[in-house]
Structure 1
Amino acid sequence: MRVPTDLPSRARVVIVGGGVIGTSTAYHLTRLGWTDVLLLEQGSLSGGTTWHAAGLVGQLRASESGTRLVQYSGELYARLEAETGLSAGYKQCGGVIVARTEDRMTQLRRTAATADAFGLECSMMTPDEALSRWPAMRVDDLLGAIWLPGDGKANPTDLTMALAKGARQHGATVAERTRVLDVLVRDGAVTGVRTDRGDVEAEVVVNCAGQWAAQVGAMAGVAVPLHSAEHFYVVTDQVEGVHPDLPILRDPDGWTYFKEEVGGLVVGGFEPEAKPWVAPDQVPYPFEFALLDEDWDHFGILMDSALHRIPALAETGIRKFYNGPESFTPDNQFLMGEAPNVRGFFVGAGFNSVGIASAGGAGRALAEWVVEGEPTSDLVSVDLRRFGAYAANTGWLRDRVVEILGLHYAVPWPNRELESARPLRCSPLHDRLAARNAAFGSRAGWERPNVFAPAGTSPRTPYTWGKPAWLPWSAAEQRATRTGVAVFDQTSFSKYLVVGRDAEASLQWICSNDVAVPVGTVVYTALLNRRGTYESDLTVTRVSAEEYLLVSSSATTERDLDHLRRHVPAGHDTRVVDVTSAHAVLGVMGPRSRELLAVVSGEPLDDFGFATSRMLRVGRATVRATRITYVGELGWELYAPTETATGVYDALMAAGADLGVVDAGYSAIESLRLEKGYRAFGRELTPDHAPVEAGLLFACKLRTDVDFLGRAAVETARAAGPRRRLVSVVVEDPEPMLWGGELVLRDGVPVGQLTSAAWGETVGACVGLGYVADPAGTTSRDWVGSGSWSVDAGGAVHPVRVGLRAPYDPGNDRIRG
């Protein structure tokens, strides 16, 4: 590799880290025409984590965007040699995943259906069919398997070298043995880096430093939440029947995988409880092509499982034990994107043992983000901005990594909650709700009640693909909301104030809907990007002539704040302030909610119209009461100063006793909003979806002449007509349980996938939302309204009713009553 004798004093982009992610980003930047790229590696290329990766390239991911990203990786690796003269060692050998339990078989059937939805080849296999593809394994304890012919494997070091050569061929400079000592920042933007060979001025710095990414982030004042864990595999001597074309074998019930290597096997896995390494700020330097000590005791659970699956290993020698530390993030998704607090500082790190599979697509996506100034596809699940400052705590990260690594091969239960490093962020009502037997879930670190168990019953219930033990409790909460009154703790909502002389003008540009409204009016709106697709959806309440209150979902705080601040037009007197922790939120919902609030406020509230907001006395406190709903009933959200929240809650529950008031949780909200057809950001609304296909053009001010971000793209999409539509789905049979992700079929042909699903107590069956597309072209209303519709739920196909209107109260009579 060419090492420049003199380091350039300036580059348009400096990439820190010469592993597979850094070299992929450099390669793709140059392919996009940004040739003034300098890649800095503190040691030798691939010498950090990349070199000891197993090199698996599995193509199917949980989301379509993630799947497309990895598909591109395979396509790139296959053609790199022709372009650069260096092979990536890529071989499309296919993959076999086996199941020991019926729960795992259900997962595999769902996986096969997901592959159908994404257009990937995948087939179910019997144990004997699996044996024919992998003759060395034992199958007498298996229930079945799936075959993924598109899976492959790559040589991590060869891949890195090929990407680096491709980057250099297109103009990039690669400097090894060059350590970054500091990231230079002025006025909230990067200006370059300081290295042990001199300073380099730069417009953009991309942090691809792997396990050192937290340290590099700290140099710029940017939190990069990841933590290293020891990660193990062994390479065996030759095994009879093992050959270069042998598929990758995954035995997730035994936490193990197997890959051919020089006639032997790479045997690795993801043990249920990981072994953390040092804190992120203590990862040592130098640590090049280095391993940690062998730990056969910790590896024992994986080795025992491997011996069970591959009996020949009992007579096979071990060539090498690898214990290579690798970094993991708090939610098992990698970190990508521009830091919200430092312009021009990007991150691509924390790849959770899927770095080789992801590198091609991730490097392209990150390079496009740098060039375009925003993501070009749905990267919400990996966006650095999904975490707040809370996630940088090293003690919290260490506790979490113990659980995270093992989840790679755990059954991906649809309602699984992480258990480690909790509680972290609590509502002021947390202890009261815990005393009422709440089963808490966690969202963006917030503890939130999912459902309330009856007195004397444990709120902890086993996970299942079928109807869960807590479903009757949620059903009761749904009935209470539809027929009486329920109180929801929604304190975790993100809340922002937008203030200043130009607040209205700024929001008119940023928001798709018209927010030039009278004081006290509430507006539902999208935040779109230039492509006219969703960055968020939220409510905007005009508080005064120069002040607005914006309320958004719990998990989007940093993304929303960054989007708002980034798009305030230059020269505007507008400030965006995060006030999330200043207010608790209590949702008072149901046909008797007006009665309850009339009692605690002493006002009749007959003149309190829908989509309006005003101050209201509740007991001894004064709160902002906003008449709005996410459950499809008459209701109010009460925004109480945090210090008054317990008193407000107590007053509601005391006054509501005679009205049958109940506590209710987020599981009920999910069911109720789906019956009403309400969309959720991150599922129905993403950067890959637009208002036309989501059925939300009413929230775009197209009848005015007021321009807004994304308007031109929305108008173009409206003129072209939707190529897919969001539909409501109700299962004909009350027995099946849906969770979201199920394949949707029309006349037996796959045409889409459910984005969300839950039990709907009011309709008496499971209900969901999903996008469907006519393979013949534009998806018309007539096409949606005809044909025979069904969903594939874990391999069982069930008839469903499909429509463009909500199954419950499509005329909105309930919410306006």
Structure 2
Amino acid sequence: MKTEVKALVVGGGAVGTSIAYHLARAGWSDVMLLERDELTAGSTWHAAGLLPYFNMSYATTHIHDYSIKFYKTLEEETGLDAGFFVVGNLRMAQTQARMDEYRLYSATAETCDVPHEFLTPAQIKERWPLVRTEDLLGALFHPTDGYINPADVTMAMAKGARQRGVLIERKWQVDGYTWHGDHWQVQVTKMAERGGNLVPTEESVVIRAEHVVTATGNHAQRTARMLGLKTPAIPVEHQYIITEPDPALVAWRAEGNPQHPVLRDADAKWYVREERGGWILGPYERGAPACFRYGVPDSFRADLFPLDLERIEEEYMSMIHRIPTSETVGLKDDFNGPICYTPDGNPLLGPAPGLRNMWLAEGFSFGITAAGGAGYYLAQLMTEGEAAIDMASLDPKRYGQDWMTTDYAVTKNEEAYEHVFILHHPDEERPAARPLRTAPAYERQKALGAQFGHVNGWERPNYYGPLDAPEHFDHDARSFRRGGWWPYAEAEARAIRETVGIIDASAFAKHVVKGPGATAFLDHFTCNKLPKVGRINLTYALSVKGTTRTEYTIVRLAEDEYYLVSAGAWHAYDEDYLQKAAEDFGMDHGWFTVQDVTTQWGVYAVAGPNARALLQGLVRDAEPETVLGNKRFPWLSMRNIELGMCPVRAIRVAYTGELGWELHFPMEMGLYLWDQLMAAGAAHGLKPVGARAQNWLRQEKSYRAFGTELGRDATPLEADLPRFVDLSKDFHGKAAMEATGIRSKCCTLLIDGPADADPWGREALYHGDTRVGRLTSGGYSVAFGKSIGMGYVRPELAVPGTKLLVRMMGDLWPAEVVEDSPYDPANARIRIDG
């Protein structure tokens, strides 16, 4: 047992062995892996081994793509057969909505070069006559994936890791982590088998590790407690059954026919694959319970739960319907084991919140599919500072430490399991564990017909539907095309362009940085000039690779005091980076503090041609008629004002591109201020507005959004934002940004698309027959009466007038690159005086 290593990987399942392998392949020669039992003893051993490409996430698609390609190389490298059966994957569709889902996914797959094709029912029947097809509309087929033996692929990666110098130690349990400024001390205990149980011995060792990676699967709760963290990674029971041989299938194979692809009837919520002449049925049924909410019992090893056949009866009968020959075959075996989940079904992969050199790889509900790519991209993140893809959507900090609880995780993980085969609309909003975090005016907004989205636990209006909506209107409004919500969002967007609208933006993340060293720190931390007192600037904090790590609106409250506003969905993600950057910068330039004030301040954005007139009636000032004019309150400035009895930090900026103000108010006064604004706004055409209309409007102004146009895979210069980068000063990531150059460039496009659909922001872009980029945002423009989108293309094509094509619902539609801020490019409406 070594007691000093550069990197210690904890967990010997598919994910842990992949990480150890890839760290060694990336050049770290001193890597050790610990497993408390035997390799694959966790969920890996009972996994069904499927390798589905299908995922709506750009990052996760790349991870799955890498895994599938990597596993095919392991036998040549290690001499061990990884047990990969490349039989393909057939996703069947019974409804038009499901086909629309596949077409939208196809756009993501196309941008990632994932091979796929669409099949008709007749083509399915011709290839696989055992499958009933008369009630199908079609299918999506991936010819290059299939299934793999989880134990075999894990052992192959383990051998590859050993060949590259990784030390793998079994029967060692981690019992504690302590950070010592530049390394971790990890307390480990030797485990021994006694009476079939695994028990600790008196042998104990302390390992010094510069970096630690936890890939502890079902034991994630125990790991989190040792690290002083909260994690939503909690297992859910997953059942699958294996049938006796099906005579029809045996005869089919005896005739020399190939294996069936992995069959997925998404509308029936199951997958089926061949297994020794029979079938494996894996359902994702309702009512599957979470387990081990506080940790795995010491007595639980490679164990299973009793089968609950009644729970999956509906799925079992639907398999018989889809494969009629399976009706007469008996059950041969069954598995019901724990699979770790997270509330959104994606893993927690990246740096741990608040900790140094601690990396999490937990919550892999599709661990075999993701293991190879997770190891590859996490190793890049650890050894190079950034990965080749933006990993933010998988970052462990997307579930804040200040609000996420065990009950929340259990409720959402059970929902995530049930939703594996639910239609994944791009405007999907899942209902479990809601409402949880509500802004003061939540009930008022609900009474006005607000249909809420879920952002970092906060309820945020997406749009305002009709007050007489049917009981399930919110669900029915989900769509891949222009759904039931569309006319309401269109009316909201038009109101901001023509009268005035109010948007609740209280979920914004907000921090105060203050002290004698605050200016020096922020000047180094961000790439733009810092504003003068009473003014604001938009700026970016960069990654070590010079890409965009965080977007901030900075308001300078005093010489040494700054108010930072960033995206609400990325609150903990931004705060962790800000706090760690402050620690790294140190106090050589004077002390300063970083304070999270998110829940102290609410925000209403009031925007539109009538915004000034509305606020004028509420403002309390010695000269109320001039307080909101350009002379006293110019664009991109801040003033403390009073609206009735509410003190407000007003910022003259509008994400919608109209005359407007962000009103930052004490959170406890939010209900009072909402009522005052709504009452005063009645005479000015005030309309409450949701996030979907706001998203459309900001695209008309070419305002980039973090998480879409802005992220760790593009620099601010590639985002075409040189006006927010001060190259005359030194700042973190500057040299890397300049060295990167312009690989692709962000632009805005107007699109002549189908009459019943708009882009969602994941579609492929073509120049003639050549794919040249992808959309990152999409929607509808009320100003131009057509679809609009933003995205990245080759730099020479990102010029106004370039004719492109965009893939929507399976077809290519004409699009044209337009000038930045196609609506009001001179910003005359924003600056209008009064």
TM-score category, normalised to shorter length: over 0.9
Q: Which amino acid aligns with 2:679?
A: A
Corresponding residue for 2:353? 340
Flag the 1:565–1:588 CA change in 2: closer, same or farther, 3 A. same
Higher mean Cα deviation, 567-576 or 519-528?
Answer: 567-576
Aligned with 1:328 (options 333, 341, 352):
341
Q: Secondary structure at the match of 1:324?
A: strand
**CA deviation vs aligned residue, 1:371-407 (integer Å, no higher than 9, x gap):** 2344453111110011102564111112112211122
Q: What is aligned with 1:767?
A: 788
Question: Closer, same or farther in 2 for the Cα pair 1:549/1:594, shift >3 Å?
Answer: same
Distance 1:780 1:351 in 2: 39
Matched, 1:802 2:817: yes
Match of 1:583 in 2: 601
Residue 480 of structure 1: aligned partner: 495
Q: Is the CA contact 1:561–1:576 (under 8 Å) kept in the aligned structure 2?
A: no
The letter of the residue matching 1:341 is: G
Q: How large is the RMSD of aligned CA atoms in angstroms?
A: 2.0
Structure 2 CA distance for partners of 1:810 and 1:235, relative to 1, 3 Å = same
Equivalenced residue count is 798
The aligned amino acid for 1:338 is P
> Which piece of structure 1 moves more, 588-597 or 178-187?
178-187
Number of the residue aligned with 2:615: 597
Taking the aligned partners of 1:454 and 1:127, their CA distance within structure 2 comes to: 39
Quote how far apart the aligned CAs of 1:189 are: 6.8
Q: Specify the alignment match of 2:587 in structure 1.
A: 571
Deviations 1:557-602 (A, max 9, x none): 1111121222231334232211100001011111111112222114
**What TM-score does the superposition give when structure 1 sets the normalisation length?**
0.94
Distance 1:733 1:97, change over 3 A: closer
Match of 1:3 in 2: none
Contact 2:641 2:650 in 1 (8 A): yes
SS at match of 1:514: coil
Name the SS for the 2:829 alignment partner. coil
Give 1:781 shift: 4.5
SS of alignment partner, residue 559 of structure 1: helix
Distance 1:801 1:9 in 2: 61
Deviation at 1:693, TM superposition (A): 2.5
Confirm or deny that 1:654 pairs with 2:679.
yes
Going from structure 1 to structure 2, the CA distance change for 1:133 and 1:287 (only over 3 Å counts) comes to farther
Indicate the residue corresponding to 1:513 in structure 2.
528
Distance 1:653 1:794, change over 3 A: same
Provide the C-alpha distance between the structure 2 equivalents of 1:722 and 1:14, rounded to a whole number of angstroms.
35
SS state at 2:333 partner:
strand
SS in 1 for 2:540: strand
Residue pair 2:59, 2:393 contacting (<8 A) in 1 also: no
CA distance in structure 2 between the aligned counterparts of 1:495 and 1:375, rounded to whole angstroms? 27
Residue in structure 2 matched with residue 730 of structure 1 by the alignment: 751
Q: Which amino acid in the other structure matches residue 636 of structure 1?
A: W
* Partner residue of 1:222 out of 223, 229, 239: 229
- The structure-2 alpha-carbon separation of the partners of 1:370 and 1:192, relative to structure 1 and needing over 3 Å to count, comes to farther
Question: Is the 2:220–2:295 Cα contact (8 Å) retained in structure 1?
Answer: no
Is the 2:528–2:540 contact (alpha carbons within 8 Å) kept by the matching residues of 1?
yes
For residues 59 and 732 of structure 1, the distance between their equivalents in structure 2, rounded to whole angstroms, comes to 28
Mean CA deviation greater in 584-593 or 648-657:
648-657
**Where do residues 236-385 of structure 1 align in structure 2 (5 Å cutoff)?**
236-239=243-246, 240=249, 241-242=252-253, 245-271=259-285, 273-352=286-365, 354-385=366-397
Change (3 A) 1:791 1:9: closer
SS in 1 for 2:790: strand
The Cα offsets for residues 62-111 of structure 1, whole Å up to 9 and x where unpaired, read as 23332222222122211212222222112322221111111111222233
1:616 — aligned with what? 641
Residue by residue over 1:648-674, the C-alpha shift from the partner in whole angstroms, topping out at 9 and shown as x without a partner, is 222222222221222111122111112
Which residue of 2 is the match for residue 4 of structure 1? Answer: none
Aligned-partner Cα distance in 2 for 1:153–1:457: 45
Instruction: Give, as a single letter, the amino acid of the residue that structure 2 aligns with 1:729.
Output: L
1:112·1:124 contact (CA, 8 Å) conserved in 2? no
Q: Take 1:670 and 1:479, find their aligned partners in 2: how far apart are those partners? A: 13
Map 1:63-78; keep pairs closer than 5 Å: 63-78=57-72
Q: Is the 8 A contact 2:746 2:790 kept in 1?
A: no
For residue 157 of structure 2, give the secondary structure of its aligned residue in structure 1.
Answer: helix
Secondary structure at the counterpart of residue 147 of structure 1? strand
2:699–2:748 CA contact under 8 A, matched in 1: no
Q: Distance in 2 between matches of 1:48 and 1:124?
A: 36
8 A contact 2:801–2:816 mirrored in 1: no
Q: TM (normalized to structure 2)?
A: 0.92
Q: Which moved more, 1:675-684 or 1:461-470?
A: 461-470
| Equivalent in the alignment of 2:484 | 469
Q: 2:188, 2:263 → 1: CA distance? A: 45
Alignment partner of 1:677 out of 702, 713, 722: 702
Provide, for residues 226-248 of structure 1, a one-character-per-residue CA deviation record: whole Å limited to 9, x for no partner: 22111011122223225764322
2:517, 2:587 within 8 Å by CA — same for their partners in 1?
Answer: no
Shift in Å at residue 23 of structure 1? Answer: 0.7
Matched residues in 1 for 2:32 and 2:299: separation? 21
What's the % identity of the aligned pairs? 36
Partner of 1:543: 557
Report the more deviating stretch, 242-251 or 283-292: 242-251
- The residue identity in structure 2 corresponding to 1:262 is R
1:413 to 415, 418, 425: 425
Partner Cα separation in structure 1 for residue 110 and residue 341 of structure 2? 30
1:496-528 deviations in whole A, cap 9, x for unaligned?
A: 11112111111111111111x310110001121
Aligned partners of 2:504 and 2:404: how far apart in 1? 26
Q: Deviations over 1:683-737 (max 9, x none)?
A: 11121122222111211102x2x1112212332344xx44344332333665433
Paired amino acid for 2:56: A
Distance in structure 2 (CA, Å) of the matches to 1:733 and 1:159: 45
Tell me, in whole angstroms, the C-alpha distance in 1 between the residues paired with 2:129 and 2:219: 42
How far the C-alpha of 1:60 sits from its partner, in A, is: 4.5
Aligned to 2:661: 636
Report the 3-state secondary structure (helix = DSSP H, G, I; strand = E; otherwise coil) of the residue aligned with 2:828.
Answer: coil
Per the TM alignment, residue 287 of structure 1 is displaced from its structure 2 partner at its CA by 2.2
- Confirm or deny: 8 A CA contact 2:435 2:459 kept in the other structure: yes
1:38 and 1:758 map into 2 onto residues whose CA distance is 49
3-state SS of paired residue (1:815): helix
Q: Give distance in 2, aligned partners of 1:187 and 1:424.
A: 37
Q: In structure 2, what is the equivalent of residue 714 of structure 1?
A: 737
Write the letter of the residue equivalent to 1:382: L
Paired position in structure 1 for 2:197: none
Consecutive unaligned residues of structure 1, counting only runs of 5 or more, are 1-6
SS of 2:702's equivalent? coil
Secondary structure class of the residue paired with 1:257: strand
Question: Where in structure 2 are the equivalents of 1:428-447 lying within 5 Å?
Answer: 428-447=440-459
Q: Which shows bigger deviation, 144-153 or 749-758?
A: 749-758
SS in 2 for 1:346: strand
Q: 1:726 & 1:339 partners in 2: Cα distance?
A: 34
2-side partners of 1:746 and 1:442: how far apart? 37
Aligned to 1:523: 537
Cα distance change on mapping 1:437 and 1:146 into 2, 3 Å: closer
Quote the residue 2:144 is aligned against. Answer: 150
CA distance in 1, matches of 2:445, 2:312: 41
Offset of 1:337 from its aligned partner? 1.1
- State how far apart, in whole Å, the 2-side matches of 1:158 and 1:317 are: 28
Q: Is the 8 A contact 2:221 2:231 kept in 1?
A: yes
2: CA distance, partners of 1:786 / 1:78: 41
Structure 2 residue identity aligned to 1:540 = I
Q: Comparing 323-332 with 53-62, which one deviates more in the overlay?
A: 53-62
CA distance in 2, matches of 1:492, 1:189: 36
Aligned to 1:233: 240
